[in-house]
Copies of this chain bind each other. A is one copy, B any other.
Amino acid sequence: MSFDALRSPVQFLQQAGIRADQDWLRDYEAWFECEGQGISEAVDRAGTPWLRMFDRFGARVDEILYPPEYWRMLKNGYRAGVLWRVFERNFERNSERNSEGNSAQNSLIPAYLLLYATGFYDPGLACPYTVSLSTVCPLSKYGDAELKARFLPRMLQRNDNDNDDESVWQGATWMTEIKGGSDLGTAVETIAQQDGNKWRLTGDKYFASNAGAELAVVAARQEGAPQNVRGLSLYLVPRHREGGKLNYQIRRLKDKIATRSVPTGEIELRHSEGWLLGQAEQGIYLILEVLNLSRVANSVGSVALAQRAIADAYSYAERRTAFGKPVIEHPLLRRQFEDRLQGLRAALGLAWEAVRLLDNVWQEKPPYSESYHLFRLVAHLAKYWTAEFAVQTAKWAMEVYGGVGTLQENRVERWLREAMILAIWEGTSHRQMLDGLEVMQRKNAHRLLFQHLAGKAPEAQLREMEARVERQLGLPEADKEATLEKLFSGLASFTADTLLGKPGDKE
């Protein structure tokens, strides 16, 4: 097994049977190798960017002060097409997914290819792209003609120019408030009041990624709506009001341990203009659709990060010598590399399956098909499994470096910081397990999964795994949750190995 492909996201995707030899993708990778990488390191080193709240004359401006090259790096992805390629109808899906032959449709695949490549070089940078995607998708699905005419072209334009007012608008997805992200039904206290055909939103968003975005989708509760998850609805909120004033304020940027290439802030909405997306009663579905996109992006990014960590560790182990030979030639370490690579391929298989399933269902609206429920289970398994793999891999890569791995200057510690954020964002492992449990209980998604895997593993293994799941579902409520971890982890591992064609390979 060769480790050479590890150095290139494009090559590794190709080796895994995912088409990734498009020129634009290669160019994107080449740009990072040559320029972007150095910028990304400088941004990580510089730490949390600085928020200019007021100009020197006392006018509130809320500008985020990155070094100029940050913006160059950021815009490069939009230019490469992380948004516009999704809506480019003539994208040749055939060559990508010829088994299905549904050419000439919008496809998320180009976006996730770019996100994978981005995640390899800068895991945090994948975030602005993802939340922009998660803004443009609901806008295109649920926005009325006027909204789309007004905002879509700004987000989808191709020829961004650095010094131009015509630059791409970024999106953002602001759901979480100070009470936390898992129990949204209770935690969202932002209120929406009708104001003609607009709405006025008032509330505080506590973890607002891509603070400063030109357009955000925001969860809020209409006055009088129930105090639970059914009371939520989704709004489109631009950075500036129609008259040009700031429509929301950034209270501060947060000092995170990583993902310094995305500004995460606290947002104060105060009678901020917004437009309702879809029907108010269906808000929670729209919110979950938004989370689908980012949860899958999180999985893809986790795998990309793990690839990067292994690649870095490998290049180190090739050159570092001990006891007379490169440490890569020591049997214990070599075996660990082989196991990691195997694990990486399984993780990629699982994450990409989530991408493919999502690409089939992302344009559905409620009520959803069975494919949608299958997707949800796979997405939970993938988010859970890949994030865990990324953390453990990053930790291990630091150990391969040994002492120099604990120094900030050697960059490898960055992957662990970044991985920890991936493990927590979009729901921790607890959330994935419990939501995965719910979709199995309420939609029998596990049965859909075993149908989906049929033929890819020996029948007996599939049956045995299915029985394990059914046993778990049959436990008394508290036990069912208390002992869920082993089952969920087993199911994720089984699914990943099966998709890779090696079920039961572990042990």
| Partner-B contacts on A (CB < 8 A) | 34-35, 38-39, 42, 45-46, 50, 52-54, 56-58, 65-69, 163, 176, 178-183, 186, 206-207, 251-252, 254-258, 316, 319-324, 330-336, 391, 395, 398-399, 401-410, 413, 416, 420-421, 423-425, 428-430, 433-434, 477-485
Provide the bound-state CA to CA distance between A34 and B258, in Å.
31
Instruction: Find out whether the CB atom of B423 lies under 8 angstroms from the CB atom of A399.
Output: yes
Instruction: Find out whether the CB atom of B336 lies under 8 angstroms from the CB atom of A485.
Output: yes
Instruction: Find out whether the CB atom of A68 lies under 8 angstroms from the CB atom of B399.
Output: no
Cβ contacts under 8 Å, A421 to chain B:
406
Choose from B50, B255, B319, B402 the contact partner of A181 (Cβ within 8 Å): B402
Instruction: Find out whether the CB atom of A179 lies under 8 angstroms from the CB atom of B58.
Output: yes
In angstroms, how far is the closest chain B Cβ from the Cβ of A387? 10
Instruction: Find out whether the CB atom of A251 lies under 8 angstroms from the CB atom of B251.
Output: yes
Provide the bound-state CA to CA distance between A219 and B405, in Å.
23
Provide the bound-state CA to CA distance between A183 and B323, in Å.
6
Instruction: Find out whether the CB atom of A420 lies under 8 angstroms from the CB atom of B424.
Output: no
Provide the bound-state CA to CA distance between A58 and B180, in Å.
9
Indicate whether A484 sits within 8 Å of B255 (C-beta atoms), given known contacts A42-B67, A42-B68, A424-B403: no
Provide the bound-state CA to CA distance between A52 and B403, in Å.
16
Indicate whether A334 sits within 8 Å of B399 (C-beta atoms), given known contacts A69-B69, A183-B323, A421-B406: no
Instruction: Find out whether the CB atom of B331 lies under 8 angstroms from the CB atom of A482.
Output: yes
Cβ contacts under 8 Å, A53 to chain B:
251-252
Instruction: Find out whether the CB atom of B332 lies under 8 angstroms from the CB atom of A430.
Output: yes
Cβ contacts under 8 Å, A401 to chain B:
56
Provide the bound-state CA to CA distance between A419 and B186, in Å.
35
In angstroms, how far is the closest chain B Cβ from the Cβ of A469? 16
Cβ contacts under 8 Å, A429 to chain B:
399
Instruction: Find out whether the CB atom of B331 lies under 8 angstroms from the CB atom of A478.
Output: yes
Could you list some 14 contacts between A and B, CB below 8 A?
A42-B68, A46-B67, A56-B410, A67-B69, A68-B69, A180-B322, A257-B408, A330-B430, A332-B434, A335-B482, A335-B483, A391-B395, A395-B420, A399-B430
Provide the bound-state CA to CA distance between A66 and B46, in Å.
10
Cβ contacts under 8 Å, A399 to chain B:
423-424, 428-430
Choose from B252, B416, B481, B485 the contact partner of A420 (Cβ within 8 Å): B416
Provide the bound-state CA to CA distance between A335 and B482, in Å.
6
Instruction: Find out whether the CB atom of A323 lies under 8 angstroms from the CB atom of B186.
Output: yes
Provide the bound-state CA to CA distance between A335 and B316, in Å.
39
Cβ contacts under 8 Å, A319 to chain B:
57
Instruction: Find out whether the CB atom of B331 lies under 8 angstroms from the CB atom of A479.
Output: yes
Provide the bound-state CA to CA distance between A479 and B68, in Å.
46
In angstroms, how far is the closest chain B Cβ from the Cβ of A436? 12
In angstroms, how far is the closest chain B Cβ from the Cβ of A175? 11
